[in-house]
């Protein structure tokens, strides 16, 4: 069964006390979240352990990592391995966010290695893909997104790809206030699902969660989240405000 996920990517925002009070407020959201509809929060790396402890008795909140490296251990200063994340009890990790691709030159091949390393430790990768504005305007966005998906995910076995969550995040909509229309988002979500079905079968494709990200906020969330192939949201800016995040989450869990 497809899981509904509302994820908050805090990026490199908020100090420790601001982050702690935000997570405490999110934990108070009164919703019908359960094992099949959950919230995943991605705070800055130093807070992972404390926030995981703080929320570990709430079954509908998970704490995830914004990044990882693909090696298990060794001389990789500044990096964190999936083995280390697992030892904290972390269950989700973002992979291939456009900011990682742009500022840290992560390509589809490196991302494929990270995904495999995470799956080996039983951590769910949330694999982000999406096109820049010029790619959309040149009308080659479908091919572009399919290449990202194929190069990072298609070497996996059926069992492994079924454990991946995908997030479609058009780069032109991230942090810009411009959102893809519900139709634009649904078109890509369906395309991704159909492409997975072609190589991995309908059952696998139908059970995978595909999230939308890109300036999702309380005003546009309902329409986006109502689309047939949209199984949740990856939310940046609007996840930094507990009330807005609660509004989006509650509307989806109803
Ligand atoms: C993101 O960072 O993944 C994101 C979607 O950001 P925003 O919601 O601010 O566009």
Q: How does pLDDT run across 99-145, given as a tens digit for each residue?
A: 999 999 999 999 999 999 999 999 999 999 999 999 999 999 999 99
**CB contact at 8 A, 169 and 234:** yes
Give mean pLDDT, residues 21-33. Answer: 86
Would you say residue 32 has pLDDT above 80? Answer: no
Which residue has tokens 């998906």?
Answer: 149
Q: How far is the CA of 40 from the centre of ligand 1 (A)?
A: 14
> What number of residues does the chain have?
254
pTM across the whole model: 0.96
CA distance 149 to 158: 14
Give mean pLDDT, residues 240-250. Answer: 92
**CB contact at 8 A, 159 and 203:** no
Confidence of residue 182 (pLDDT cuts 50, 70, 90): very high
Kindly report the average pLDDT of the chain as a whole number. 95
167 has which bridge partners?
128, 211
CA distances from 99 to 108, 128, 132, 133, 177 (A): 14, 10, 12, 15, 16
Please report the atom of ligand 1 found closest to the CA of residue 11: 2
Please report the atom of ligand 1 found closest to the CA of residue 174: 10
Which residue has tokens 């634009």?
Answer: 184
Which residue has tokens 């704490």?
Answer: 63
Burial 72-94 (b: 16+ CB within 10 A, else e): eeeeeeeebbbebbeeeebbbbb
Q: Other C-beta atoms within 10 Å of 206: how many?
A: 13
Residue 99 Cβ inside 6 Å of ligand 1? The answer reads no
Would you say residue 201 has pLDDT above 70? Answer: yes
Task: State residue 16's pLDDT score.
Answer: 98
Confidence of residue 35 (pLDDT cuts 50, 70, 90): low
126 has which bridge partners?
94, 165
The domain covering 4-253 belongs, at the CATH homologous superfamily level, to Aldolase class I (3.20.20.70)
Task: State residue 211's pLDDT score.
Answer: 98
Confidence of residue 198 (pLDDT cuts 50, 70, 90): very high
Q: How far is CA 234 from the centre of its chain?
A: 5
Best residue for ligand 1 mutational test, from 64, 211, 235, 239 (most atoms within 8 Å of Cβ): 235
Residue 170 Cβ inside 6 Å of ligand 1? The answer reads no
Task: State residue 105's pLDDT score.
Answer: 97
CA distances from 247 to 6, 96, 128, 210, 232 (A): 11, 27, 24, 21, 14
Confidence of residue 59 (pLDDT cuts 50, 70, 90): confident
Would you say residue 146 has pLDDT above 90? Answer: yes
| Closest Cα to atom 8 of ligand 1 | 236
**CB contact at 8 A, 214 and 173:** yes
Q: How far is the CA of 7 from the centre of ligand 1 (A)?
A: 10
**CB contact at 8 A, 75 and 110:** no
| Closest Cα to atom 2 of ligand 1 | 236
Catalytic residues: 97, 169
Percent of the chain with pLDDT over 70: 98
Residue 240 Cβ inside 6 Å of ligand 1? The answer reads no
Residue 201 Cβ inside 6 Å of ligand 1? The answer reads no
10 Å CB burial of residue 14 (0-12, 13-18, 19+) is: middle
Q: Which two tokens stand for residue 82?
A: 């999936």
Residue 89 Cβ inside 6 Å of ligand 1? The answer reads no
244 has which bridge partners?
none
Task: State residue 125's pLDDT score.
Answer: 98
Please report the atom of ligand 1 found closest to the CA of residue 239: 8
Task: State residue 30's pLDDT score.
Answer: 74
Give mean pLDDT, residues 10-20. Answer: 98
The kind and range of the H/E element at 239 are none
Residue 233 Cβ inside 6 Å of ligand 1? The answer reads no
């Amino acid at each position: 069964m497809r899981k509904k996920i509302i994820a908050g990517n805090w990026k490199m925002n908020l100090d420790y006390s601001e982050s702690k009070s935000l997570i405490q407020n999110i934990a108070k959201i009164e919703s019908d979240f359960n094992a099949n509809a959950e919230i995943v929060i991605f705070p800055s790396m130093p807070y992972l352990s404390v926030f995981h402890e703080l929320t570990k008795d709430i079954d509908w909140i998970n704490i995830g990592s914004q990044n990882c490296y693909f090696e298990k251990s060794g001389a990789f200063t500044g990096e964190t391995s999936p083995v280390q994340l697992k030892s904290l009890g972390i269950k989700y990790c973002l992979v291939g966010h456009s900011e990682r691709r742009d500022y840290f030159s992560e390509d589809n091949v490196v991302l494929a290695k990270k995904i495999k390393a995470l799956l080996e430790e039983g951590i769910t990768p949330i694999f982000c893909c999406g096109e820049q504005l010029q790619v959309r305007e040149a009308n080659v966005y479908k091919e572009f997104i399919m290449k990202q998906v194929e190069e990072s995910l298609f070497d996996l076995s059926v069992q492994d790809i079924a454990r991946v969550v995908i997030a479609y995040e058009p780069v032109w909509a991230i942090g810009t206030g411009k959102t893809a229309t519900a139709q634009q988002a649904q078109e890509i979500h369906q395309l991704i699902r159909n492409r997975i079905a072609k190589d991995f079968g309908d059952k696998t494709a139908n059970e995978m969660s595909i999230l939308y990200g890109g300036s999702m906020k309380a005003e546009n969330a309902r329409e986006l989240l109502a689309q047939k192939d949209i199984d949740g949201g990856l939310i940046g800016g609007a996840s930094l405000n507990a009330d807005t995040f609660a509004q989006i989450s509650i509307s989806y869990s109803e």
